[in-house]
Structure 1
């Protein structure tokens, strides 16, 4: 793997997204595609390649490709209420097998307008298959000391698990659990830690350093999930 050094997003990256949000048409996008590629698309590809090398050296299980790991800026509007043809953000996902459609154990980075998704990174067990989510819930109840140790390690690293899509009630089969922290954990559909990115920092090469630091600090969550995943019969 060639070592590409991330030099920062272009200074017109967010202004481009702002203008795209206003225009939202193919003609305008094609007229400004060179700007998109120079200030957003290619820099995100550089960031992905830079992070891949750093993650491998740090022993983090995130793989990908500068092109294949990026999500398209063009939206699939077939089932959406908002029929705007373009996203107001550009993002990429790295996963253990390099698949950007991975459902869990992934690293995600997003550069977007604050009024929509904003700029942030996340490490997550996201939309797991039912059998893995069930195994995680059983592990929380049967081995609470390991779950709590993971949460404590994250807290020591300045991170906290949050799921904006959690259940309102404890899932069936776990109603007997009474510990508040375990109840909260059982209601999670996803296990996510986030790192907010200051929009003013995206033009700096230091962003790659900050994202590596975040991913390393989030490693207890990945290790906890992988240990549970390894107990499942394939």
Structure 2
């Protein structure tokens, strides 16, 4: 299927995920693959293509590809205790170079438990994460301005998954807000999507608006990443 403007996920998108989660069967999935493609996969590809165009127009520096940007519905169960073969969600990522290997990305997740979008520097490589922590410690006013801008835009940095102890080299940082930030393993903001709102083209405007509101985080991380690449 060639790319089209996003019109919304199919009315049976969530019911399909519920049925797939119930059956967890390759035979059932193959029998219903056409429904999966029509209701979920192809619309998500259209969403990636449409957002790529809209993000370019907005100067956000994020793009994707309807084939390469989508994550598989199949689970990798090689080293997992949970051997169910299929995910309860479908997701995609848009990044600076259009691959899944970059940092400073946009992420969209359509699932049974929740639907959401995120903008994140998610578990960046040690060198970049250390540079981010050093930037927080050495330029606290800049970091606090980013946090304030995000809050003004209705967004909060994700506080989950932080280290219990301050990493080595940052013991002298005393301010509680900076300590909490330095203990982060990632820097991300999220936007909850109403599952009832995934079936129309209005979702595009909602996601563009969210990503524009998250731009202070993207700009902060990119500035640090740029300096790290030059060193």
Q: 1: distance between equivalents of 2:85 and 2:166?
A: 38
Q: 2: distance between equivalents of 1:178 and 1:120?
A: 34
1:199 match: 195
Residue ranges of structure 1 left out of the alignment (5+ in a row): none
Number of residue-to-residue matches in the alignment: 229
| Root-mean-square deviation (Å) | 1.2
Deviations 1:105-160 (A, max 9, x none): 0000000002xxx2000000011111100000000010011100100000000000
Deviation at 1:87, TM superposition (A): 0.5
Contact 1:201 1:207 in 2 (8 A): yes
Deviations 1:1-32 (A, max 9, x none): x9832100000000000000000010000000
Contact 2:3 2:46 in 1 (8 A): no
Contact 1:64 1:100 in 2 (8 A): no
- Tell me the secondary structure at the aligned position of residue 162 of structure 2: coil
> 1:122/1:69 Cα in 2 relative to 1: closer, same or farther (>3 Å)?
same
TM-score (norm 2): 0.97
1:36 match: 36
TM-score (norm 1): 0.95
Q: Which moved more, 1:156-165 or 1:209-218?
A: 156-165
1:170 match: 166
Q: 1:153 aligns with which of 149, 155, 159?
A: 149
1:129 match: 125
1:76 match: 76
1:111 match: 110
> 1:3/1:75 Cα in 2 relative to 1: closer, same or farther (>3 Å)?
closer
1:94 match: 94
Runs of at least 4 residues off by over 6 Å: none
Q: 1: distance between equivalents of 2:156 and 2:80?
A: 31
Deviation at 1:205, TM superposition (A): 1.0
Contact 1:106 1:123 in 2 (8 A): yes
